[in-house]
Amino acid sequence: MLFNSFILTYVYFFFIFSYFLFLFLFLFFLMGAGVDAARCQALCSDPALLVVPEEGLPWVSRAIALGYTDAAAFAVGKAEDVLQFDAAHSRVTIHGLPIDMPATPFIYYFWYASCRLQQAEGWFTNPSIRKPDTENARQLIATMRKMGGHQKAINDLSTKGLRAKILDQNRRSEE
């Protein structure tokens, strides 16, 4: 009987400790995102927070920093950890958080993700600085044509091939 009481006390303590650790981590993420103390307190007292998994806390924090309502931020925190591409709007959604992008960088990111799905050995690596990649340029041109990419970008790929400099520029366009 004494042993069962000890176990129950331990379980209760663990539950309370976990709850406060969860709140502490959430406050840490919120304060790091620049959310004021009053809003942090209100968010931490919201019962909806309890259904957000711990790995979703940084996403909630980011959504709040972007101006989302509390309910929308909690939805982002509970969203699946997936990457979605919306070609009609040049939008990438990461973990429920939509990111609007210019068309050309969006197409490059879409192409990168497509390469990742098709290649078992990993992500696409940049071509050599000295030798542009013409085979992958053809694939990217086809993707750009399907998705309505800019003609200038298509012409550049057709004449000069896929170059590391261009890949890097399109990767950094959203930073």
Q: Are residues 88 and 104 in the same domain?
A: yes
Q: Are residues 99 and 46 in the same domain?
A: no
Q: Which structural domain, as residue segments, surrounds residue 39?
A: 2-78
What digits encode the pLDDT tens for the residues 23-43?
A: 555 555 555 556 665 665 666
Q: Are residues 37 and 87 in the same domain?
A: no
Number of domains, the chain: 2
Q: Are residues 136 and 74 in the same domain?
A: no
Q: Are residues 71 and 93 in the same domain?
A: no
Q: Are residues 32 and 89 in the same domain?
A: no
Q: Are residues 10 and 67 in the same domain?
A: yes
Q: How confident is the model at residue 86 (pLDDT cuts 50, 70, 90)?
A: very high
pLDDT at residue number 142: 93
**Strand 97-100 versus strand 83-86 pairing type:** unpaired
**Strand 83-86 versus strand 91-94 pairing type:** antiparallel
Span of 46-55, 135-144, 145-154 with lowest mean pLDDT: 46-55
Question: Considering only CA atoms, which of 92, 56, 100 is closest in space to residue 76?
Answer: 56
pLDDT at residue number 85: 92
The full DSSP string for 147-166 is HT--HHHHHHHHHH-B-HHH
pTM, rounded to two decimals: 0.66
Mean local confidence (pLDDT), 126-131: 81
Higher pLDDT, 137 or 17: 137
Domain end, chosen from 34, 54, 78, is at 78
Q: Are residues 93 and 27 in the same domain?
A: no
Domain end, chosen from 78, 97, 124, is at 78
pLDDT exceeds cutoff 70 at 122: no
